[in-house]
Amino acid sequence: MKEYFQFPSKLDSFRLFSVQHLLTIGIIFVLCFLLFVMRNMLKKNRKRRIFRFSLAVLLVVSDVSYHLWLIKEHAWSIRRDLPLHLSDLVVILAVFMLLSRSLKLFQFMYFAGLGSSVQAILTPSLDKFSFPHFRYIEFFVSHGGVILACLFMVTAFNYRPTLCSMWVTIMLVNLYAAVVFALNKLLGANYLYTMKKPESASLLDYLGPWPWYLLSLELVMILSFYILYSPFWIKRRYQHKS
């Protein structure tokens, strides 16, 4: 049992799109699908309240337990473990979104939260933290939880992203990246991977060398945001024609 909590892990290296990875992605996909299947039930006030508070608690427990685990293992580092990666920051923001039911926060989270979390679960940086290590489970619970939180706001509250909010999110993400870049210089860190590519396999491997991959990543972000917005654009076009 101890080996599932060790840092560094002595398990086999995480393999991208292995059976365990694909099964985990499949479970998250099924849960997202069930949100839409059960959307009428989730619109009832009592069930909606229970779900959003339960999901918020799950995200808090997951995030806090991760940092407590690092501290216990004497592995927490200011250069690596501050919640400055976008996919880590949105876990915290998802909790506030669920508790406050903020439409403005949802407008940001739908693009930044969904986009970064989907990328995180597709190309996770887990080194030797393979299943069933604690870090593997915590990683997919937190990032999968963000995806569920964003889609829950769509299904249960009928919140909708807008094209304007998409470009506001792009602007905010770029401003945030500039601040993080300055912090990386100060701390000697690599949050948001603005200083160099991650050592494990990632999307950045296909986007050119530093610093050009930052420009390529900008284009990928815009394209992914348009893809996330497309279902609502298509629905609106269809309703307009009808």
Task: List, for residues 144-185, the tens digit of each pLDDT value.
Answer: 999 999 999 999 999 999 999 999 999 999 999 999 999 999
User: pLDDT tens, 122-134?
Assistant: 999 898 999 999 9
What is the reported pLDDT for 237? 81
Q: Mean of the pLDDT values across residues 35-58? A: 95
Q: Give Cα separations from 18 to 15, 122, 136, 153 (angstroms).
A: 5, 11, 13, 31
The percent of residues above 90 in pLDDT, for the chain, comes to 86
Q: Is the pLDDT of residue 242 over 70?
A: no
Q: What integer best gives the mean pLDDT of the chain? A: 94
3-state helix/strand/coil string of 163-213: HHHHHHHHHHHHHHHHHHHHHHHHHCCCHHHCCCCCCCCCHHHHCCCCCHH
Note if the pTM is more than 0.85. yes
pLDDT at 71 over 90: yes
Q: What is the pLDDT of residue 143?
A: 98
Who has greater pLDDT, 106 or 197?
106
> Residue 147 belongs to what domain range?
2-241
pLDDT digits (tens, 9 = 90+) for 174-227: 999 999 999 999 999 999 999 998 877 777 888 888 889 999 999 999 999 999
Give the chain's domain count.
1
